[in-house]
Every structure is written in structure tokens, then in C-alpha cells.
Amino acid sequence: MSEQEFFVEPDLNFIKDVQRAGGGDLKKCFQCATCSVVCNVTPDDSPFPRKEMIWAQWGQKEKLMSDPDVWLCHQCNDCTANCPRGAKPGDVFAGIRSASIKAFAFPKFMGTLLSSPGMAIFAWAIPIVILLIMISLFPTIYSILPHNLDPHSFFGELVNEFKVAGWGNMPAGPIKWTNFYPELGIDMTFITLLTLGIISLAVGLYRFWNTMKENHGEMGLMGAPVPNLLAAVPTIFAHKKFMECDESKNRYYGHLGVFYGFVGAFVTTAFVASQFWLLGMKTPYGQISHVKFLGNLSAAAIIIGGLVLLVQRATYKKSVSSYFDWTLIVLVLGLGVTGLGTELVRLADLKSIAYPTYFIHLTFVAYLFLYLPFSKMAHLAYRSVAMTFARQAQRDLVSAEEIA
């Protein structure tokens, strides 16, 4: 064996990122392997998290970033609760995931922005400024749209919404969100933000996949990614791996509520948008409509799930909660509470707080869309890709089939 093969070059910056993101006790590990023994979701062959603990201590950035096992962990903290040294392997894994998302980020500065508590104020200011700029542009947008349309036609009404929208020009009468932010303005703003978020996320996932492939090599990869992704979908949707937890089982209910709340909100939004553009049906829907019911149920699931996660984070003292964890909880609860709040203030006809509440809700949605690839929300996508790769590499089959 050559001298070169023994040479280990630590990446100190990556390790500092891991420590800042929750893995502050990683140096305490003395490699006893208790964590790998108690972990219910690790494959038997080359189990985690013991091996990753030594890689983290040695600053092995490339190994950690290309390791799908880091994402097969669901942070149940069974290992943390049993670690004799208090090295908190569950938190170290959470830190590695956050540091990896930062390293894969496109564009790079967004990863830095979203991972730095000191920059939180700027991160929140950006969506607010984008919305304010859009609102200030409504008169300009109105001036360049065609004005020869029948004002009572579908498109005529959409154009005229830009004439009255904004902070200071809202007519008297019932609260109507398009009097503040026109329907077309909503689509222009949020489709653009979501598109940017999806492009960035796709680049990050592509980098992640290639990093795993380079480390693993082409040999040993079975089948194509899509069938393997489809095979992993039931495990992802049922949150089966969360159910394997012993230590912090209630996180399963929190994640389930938030996950299905967002699925419901997505289905509601997609349905309303398709009805609007295909059939010209405008909001608000009646209080007893099935769409309204699904929307309210989704908001309730998001709020309840968010509260479960909040209580779990606040009361579970064996593990540390990082900036990423708290940002996720603020975002989830902010979206749920302001989403439901906009409906309640409209029904109560509280004009003085209705539009500010709606604006705050739009800020949370803009934050979600724009920062999708850089926040903890991206974990679902990274974890799905890792599970797909693990299946393709014949890595996750044993544990997946045992659990199915």
C-alpha cells in the first residue's frame, strides 16, 4: 500500500458547518458502535452511524456527501439516547445533511444565506422586498395590458384588478384578496418563484446523485432510477421508517401531519388553479364546498403537525435543535396559522388586519418557494433521491423490505 493511500485530508470548513448545524459533540465519539447496534433502520451490511462518526471526526467531506446512508437516517435519536459518550450521532447526521445541502446548493450564496443565523433577517427581507416591488409595479403592469377588453369578461376583470390593487387604493365593500394582489399578479409572482426554486433544487439533486455515483462507481447499480424511485414511494408516503423509532416516536405524527397537510394544500391549490383557468371559476368558494373542506383540513394538519414538532423539539433534551430545525417550525406554523388566519379575518370582515395578514401569508409562501432547495424542506427530496440510489445500489433493499 502506498503512502498516498494513508493520507487523509480533512475539510475543516465542512466539519465546522456540521458542528454549527447540530453536530457539536461529534468529537466525543470513541467508536464503540452501540449506535449502529441500536439503530432500527440501518442495513446490516456496513451499518450506520458509527462509520460516519469517524468520517466526520476526520473531516471526510467527500465520503459524507456521497453517502446515501446519511439520508436513510430519520433522526429518531435511538442512537443518541444510547451513546455512552454523549456524541449525539443523530444530531451529527442532521448536521451532515444540512452541511451537504449547503455544499450542493445552486447558486452557492443561497446555501450560505439560508444556513447562517446571522443572515436570517436578510433571508426574510428578500421575499418581503420581492412582494413590495411587485405591488409597486401593479400600475405599470396595468398600463401595458390591453384595455380594449369587455370589463365584465374573464380577462377584462383580470386586467382591471391591477387598477385597484395595492395598499392604498382598495375599494369599500367585502374583503376581496384580488383588491390587494391581483390573480394574475399572484400567478406571475409565485409561478416564477416556484420555478426558480425547482430549478435550483434539480441542480442540487443532480450534483448529489452524481457525487453518490462517482463514489459508488457504475458497477453494482441495478436497474434505472425511475423504477427504483417508484419502489421507494410507498415507504416515503407512509413514513414507514419513522415508525421504526423507539426514542422520539411522536415526531412521526408531527411529520405525518405536516407532510399530508402540504400534500392537501398542493392538491387544493392545483384544483383551484385548474378550475380558474379552465372553467373561469373564481374564489372564494362556499364554506361547505369540498375544496374549502380540503383546504381547511390541510391547514389544520399543518398547524397540528407543526405544534407536535414544536413541543417535541422544546421538550426533548437529549438532542439539540439547530437553526434549520427552528426555521422549519417557524415556516410550517407561519404558513398554517396565516393561511387559516386569512380565511377567518375575511369571514369576520376585519378589514384593518385582513390585508396585512394576507401579506404576511404571502411572505411565508414566497419564502417556502424561493428557499425550497436550501431549507429543511429540501430533505424530503434529498432523502427520496438517496433512497432511490440506495435501492439501485442494492443497499436499502433489506431494511425496506423488512419494513414493508
Where along the sequence are the contacts to ligand SF4 (CB under 6 A)?
29-35, 39, 41-42, 48-50, 53, 73-79, 83, 85, 87, 89-90, 93
**Residue 89 or 197 with smaller CB distance to ligand SF4:** 89
Comparing CA positions, the residue from 339, 331, 313, 336 lying closest to residue 376 is 331
Residues 6+ apart with CB under 8 A from 344: none
CA dihedral in degrees (330, 336, 339, 343; nearest 10)?
-130
CB-nearer residue toward ligand SF4: 31 or 136: 31
- Nearest approach in angstroms of CB 32 to ligand SF4 is 4
| Choice between 18 and 114, CB closer to ligand SF4 | 18
For residue 272 the three cell numbers come to 383551484
Nearer to ligand SF4, 53 or 310 (CB): 53
Residue (83 or 135) nearer to ligand SF4, CB = 83
Residues in Cβ contact with 397 at an 8 Å cutoff, skipping those fewer than 6 apart: 391
For residues 325 and 144, is the Cβ–Cβ distance under 8 A?
Answer: no
Closest approach, Cβ 319 to ligand SF4, in A, equals: 9
Q: Which is nearer to ligand SF4, 82 or 112 (CB)?
A: 82
Residue 16 CB, shortest distance to ligand SF4, in Å, is 19
329: left (phi over 0), alpha (psi -120 to 50) or beta: alpha
* Residue 291 neighbours by CB distance under 10 Å: 18
For residue 5, give the C-alpha cell.
Answer: 493511500
User: Cβ closer to ligand SF4: 53 or 272?
Assistant: 53
- The CA-based angle 106-211-72, given to 5 degrees, is 95
Q: Indicate the residue among 59 and 185 with the shorter CB distance to ligand SF4.
A: 59
Residue 83 or 378 having the CB closest to ligand SF4: 83
End-to-end CA gap in the chain: 43
Give exposure, 51-82, as e/b (b: 16+ Cβ within 10 Å): bbbebbbebbbebbbbbbbbbbbbbbbbbbbb
Q: How far, CA to CA in Å, does 75 sit from each of 23, 85, 249? A: 12, 18, 10
Q: 43 and 97 in contact (C-beta within 8 Å)?
A: no
Task: Copy the grid coordinates of residue 344.
Answer: 377567518
Contacts (Cβ under 8 Å, ≥6 apart) of 22: 88, 91, 92, 94, 95, 98, 320, 321, 322, 324, 325
